[in-house]
């Protein structure tokens, strides 16, 4: 029998700073209900899906921004989402800002099963942007100021398959998918908030959509896994965020694609058995990989030009 997960990519439109958690959760519940009506087993929400993308602002005293973080999950405002998921029998993936009891701040996502139980948690590894206030920018990207880095990529037995999570900037790094792929990952869930404007090199602005699909599709293909990329999109606090949420097959083909920058659900029936078409042929890791030639990948962070090149 084939193993099919019907997945909904639940893109959201912008969340403004004045939007309350309760209002946002109501929007997520509406998307969850649409997913249920479409036969979804799993509905995937974006990165930081409960608040505006607050790292666009600098505040000298970071504690003033702690109200953007969840100290419990579910908490009073998110409990209705868990209850509706359990009532409908639909699982979900949710990105949010997490503040732990030890005072650590993470950019986090969770996977919740059809009974409304959290079965996995992931904390963002690749934190993009900058550590300090850069007033010359139109808006900040201070994830490196507000968040602590997570510790790694894991897979989980859930929804009848092997699932993994990554968050936004993680999707641009091939190591993300490969570390998941080396654990047999059959589906990666990836929420994102991607500003169209990239201040360090605005030449990249027109390519944001292309680069998004380029990395999601190549990650899927090169590791024989489904990839579900889900945006928070649209004009948020004056900042344009990319949409183009997509569900991508292990072939690298896009099977479902959002067409708006609003709350929008697109659905695909994801047959996990298609993964083996790639995992057992062209990308048969155990047969073809040569890790002894890849040692630089883990021993080195930045570029090191070999002496023989420098001397020539």
Which residues contact ligand CDT (rule: CB under 6 A)? 47, 128-129, 141, 168-169, 172, 192-194, 198
Q: How is residue 213 written in tokens? A: 């699909």
CB of 132 to ligand CDT, least distance (A): 14
Cα–Cα distances (Å) from 38 to 102, 150, 269, in that order, read 41, 34, 10
47 given a catalytic annotation? yes
Q: 129 or 150: whose CB is closer to ligand CDT?
A: 129
Annotated catalytic residue, options 47, 70, 84, 236: 47
Pairwise CA distance, residues 108 & 95, whole Å: 6
Q: How is residue 103 written in tokens? A: 């005072």
Which of 101, 110, 121 lies closest to 81 in space, CA to CA? Answer: 110
CB of 226 to ligand CDT, least distance (A): 20
CB of 2 to ligand CDT, least distance (A): 33
Q: 129 or 164: whose CB is closer to ligand CDT?
A: 129
Largest Cα–Cα distance in the chain? 68
Instruction: Kindly report the number of other CB atoms within 10 A of residue 166's CB atom.
Output: 30
CB of 107 to ligand CDT, least distance (A): 8
Which of 270, 221, 212, 217 lies closest to 244 in space, CA to CA? Answer: 212
Pairwise CA distance, residues 53 & 37, whole Å: 29
Cis peptide before 224 (omega within 30 of 0): no
Pairwise CA distance, residues 193 & 125, whole Å: 15
168 given a catalytic annotation? yes
114 given a catalytic annotation? no
Annotated catalytic residue, options 168, 185, 239, 275: 168
Which of 194, 61, 54, 45 lies closest to 128 in space, CA to CA? Answer: 194
CB of 116 to ligand CDT, least distance (A): 27
Catalytic (active-site) positions = 47, 124, 168
């Amino acid at each position: 029998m084939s193993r099919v997960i019907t997945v909904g990519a639940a893109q959201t439109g912008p969340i403004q700073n004045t939007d309350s958690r309760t209002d946002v959760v109501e929007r997520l519940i509406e998307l969850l209900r649409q997913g249920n009506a479409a036969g979804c087993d799993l509905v995937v929400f974006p990165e930081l899906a409960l608040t505006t993308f607050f790292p666009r602002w600098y505040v000298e005293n970071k504690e003033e921004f702690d109200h953007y973080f969840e100290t419990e999950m579910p908490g009073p405002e998110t409990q209705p989402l868990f209850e509706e998921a359990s009532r409908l029998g639909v699982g979900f993936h949710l990105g949010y800002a997490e503040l732990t009891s030890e005072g650590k701040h993470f950019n986090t996502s969770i996977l919740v099963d059809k009974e409304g139980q959290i079965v996995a948690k992931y904390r963002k590894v690749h934190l993009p942007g900058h550590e300090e206030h850069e007033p010359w920018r139109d808006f900040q990207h201070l994830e490196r100021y507000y968040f602590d880095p997570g510790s790694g990529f894991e897979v989980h037995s859930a929804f009848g398959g092997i699932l993994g999570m990554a968050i936004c900037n993680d999707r641009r790094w091939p190591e993300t998918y490969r570390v998941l792929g080396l654990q047999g990952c059959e589906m990666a869930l990836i929420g994102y908030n991607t500003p169209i404007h990239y201040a360090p090199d605005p030449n990249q602005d027109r390519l944001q959509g292309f680069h998004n699909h380029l990395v999601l599709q190549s990650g899927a293909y090169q590791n024989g896994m489904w990839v579900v990329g889900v945006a928070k999109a649209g004009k948020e606090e004056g900042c344009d965020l990319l949409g183009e949420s997509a569900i991508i097959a292990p072939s690298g083909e896009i099977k479902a694609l959002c067409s708006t920058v609003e709350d929008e659900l697109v659905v695909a029936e994801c047959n996990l058995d298609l993964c083996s078409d790639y995992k057992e042929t062209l990308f048969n890791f155990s047969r073809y990989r040569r890790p002894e030639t890849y040692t630089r990948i883990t021993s080195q962070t930045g570029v090191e030009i070999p002496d023989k090149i420098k001397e020539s």
